Amino acid sequence: MKKVTFAALAALTMTACSSGPKFQVNGDVSGADGKMLYLEASGLEGIVPLDSVKLKGEGTFSFKQPRPESPEFYRLRVDDKVINFSVDSIETIQVKAPYVDFSTAYTVEGSENSNKIKELTQKQIKLQKDVDDLLAALRSNKIGHDVFEDSLATLLNNYKEDVKVNYIFAAPNTAAAYFALFQKLNNYLIFDPLNNKDDVKCFAAVATSLNNAFPNAVRSKNLYNIVIKGMKNTRQPQAKALEIPQEKIVETGIIDIALRDVKGNVRKLTDLKGKVVLLDFSVFQSPAGAPHNLMLRELYNEYAKSGLEIYQVSLDADEHYWKTSADNLPWVCVRDGNGVYSTNVAVYNVRQVPSIFLINRNNELKLRGEDIKDLEAAVKSLL
């Protein structure tokens, strides 16, 4: 069982002992005779078990818990199958589900927010499947690395635009909007509140609405703190003339990068002269981070022995997260603490993240990502 902090346990105990109004979750789970059904709270501290029942016959169940003072999130779980729902002023929620497709084929009555959460969950499941299919196609050589990157970007952009318009900005004062902010792909937040200024706006919209309605709620305060940190990380510095020290420009005209790796050692881009270098600007803590790095690893495993090296610049706001993620990668991983507004991003005219550049063995910049039709072929042509 997951450990819960003393504060969380104390809060749960006080809530459980409350004689105030209750909410009920009733329903049935068909085809689950003998299975245990759990009611759990999805708190900021993690998942907290609240109640359970062994299902019999038609699988009917009924749970009753103290009603929260502000919107909160709960889940029903059988084995590793989960149904997420929210509770605000709702008193009774009816949930019916088959055991086999418990997480997707259920119905909810009495909570419009919970129905929206179901829609979001189904959309996220489809997105994850589409991304997994893309990666499988890449690994089986059905598509190239460039098609993979473009397709991944399109999937993410379309998903975010849909959710942003129809769930977040359409009703930022709802539990469904809050739920949308924290959906994940490959265990990374789809909406990135620390590195993406457009995503910070989504968090800010919900934070403002939640704070207006529930200024003393823990979730309101937590969301507000996330927005403040995100605004600080993504705030564009005052415009000033870009000056590039002459010593950073080598004879061929390439602009050098000198940053520290996960062990604190300064690694210079120009020290890789003699190798074909794939220069990559990435944000590890983003939904595209994991599949992008898997794509890079496919390339690296195939061509490192022929002289390919990767020089990967992380623009992550969270240094600890980057160090943990990059620790076992076989190529050169460095981090630019100035993020998307760093001088290195500006001088290389990075227009999106991730962004790729190819440098030949003579330290000459040959191609940038948007000009590469076939990444693998482009790499091979320089080896």
Within-domain flag for 4:
no
Same domain, 220 and 318: no
pLDDT tens-place string over residues 74-89: 999 999 999 999 998 7
Confidence at residue 335, expressed as pLDDT on a 0 to 100 scale: 94
Domain-ending residue, one of 170, 205, 234: 234
Within-domain flag for 5:
no
Same domain, 227 and 124: yes
**CA quadruple 245, 248, 254, 260: dihedral sign:** negative
Within-domain flag for 174:
yes
CATH assignment of the domain containing 80:
2.60.40.1120
Is residue 165's pLDDT more than 80? yes
pLDDT band at 348 (very low <50, low <70, confident <90, very high): confident
Q: What is the pTM of this model?
A: 0.79
Confidence at residue 20, expressed as pLDDT on a 0 to 100 scale: 79
Same domain, 205 and 288: no
Within-domain flag for 17:
no
Within-domain flag for 221:
yes
Within-domain flag for 247:
no
Same domain, 153 and 78: no
Same domain, 93 and 198: no
pLDDT band at 243 (very low <50, low <70, confident <90, very high): low
Same domain, 263 and 144: no
Same domain, 162 and 211: yes
Within-domain flag for 248:
no
Instruction: Give the separation between CA 330 and CA 373, rounded to whole angstroms.
Output: 26
Same domain, 96 and 171: no
pLDDT tens-place string over residues 254-271: 788 999 999 999 999 999
pLDDT tens-place string over residues 11-59: 444 444 456 789 999 999 999 999 999 999 999 989 999 999 999 998 9
Within-domain flag for 58:
yes
Q: Considering only CA atoms, which of 253, 304, 252 is closest in space to residue 277? A: 304
Same domain, 139 and 218: yes
Domain-ending residue, one of 179, 205, 234: 234
Percent of the chain whose predicted confidence (pLDDT) is above 90: 60
Peptide bond into 354 cis (omega under 30): yes
Q: Are 336 and 259 in contact (CB under 8 A)?
A: yes
CATH assignment of the domain containing 273:
3.40.30.10
234-259: average pLDDT: 64
More confident residue, 8 or 134: 134
Confidence at residue 189, expressed as pLDDT on a 0 to 100 scale: 87
197-201: average pLDDT: 91
Q: Considering only CA atoms, which of 305, 375, 383 is closest in space to residue 143? A: 375
Same domain, 212 and 258: no
| Average per-residue pLDDT for the chain | 87
Query: How many independent structural domains does the chain possess?
Result: 3
Domain extent at residue 43: 22-110
Same domain, 346 and 320: yes
pLDDT tens-place string over residues 285-331: 888 888 888 889 999 999 999 999 999 999 988 888 899 888 889 99
Same domain, 76 and 98: yes
Instruction: Give the separation between CA 357 and CA 373, rounded to whole angstroms.
Output: 13
Domain-ending residue, one of 174, 201, 234: 234
3-state secondary structure string across the chain: CCCCCHHHHHHHHHHHCCCCCEEEEEEEEECCCCCEEEEEEEECCEEEEEEEEECCCCCEEEEEEECCCCCEEEEEEECCEEEEEEECCCCEEEEEEECCCCCCCCEEECCHHHHHHHHHHHHHHHHHHHHHHHHHHHHCCCCCHHHHHHHHHHHHHHHHHHHHHHHHCCCCCCHHHHHHHCCEECCEECCCCCCCHHHHHHHHHHHHHHHHHCCCCHHHHHHHHHHHHHHHHHCCCCCCCCCCCHHHECCCCCECCEEEECCCCEEEHHHHCCCEEEEEEECCCCCCHHHHHHHHHHHHHHHHHHCEEEEEEECCCCHHHHHHHHCCCCCEEEECCCHHHCHHHHHCCCCCCCEEEEECCCCCEEEEHHHCCCHHHHHHHHC
Query: Burial level of 21, CB count in 10 A (0-12/13-18/19+)?
Result: exposed
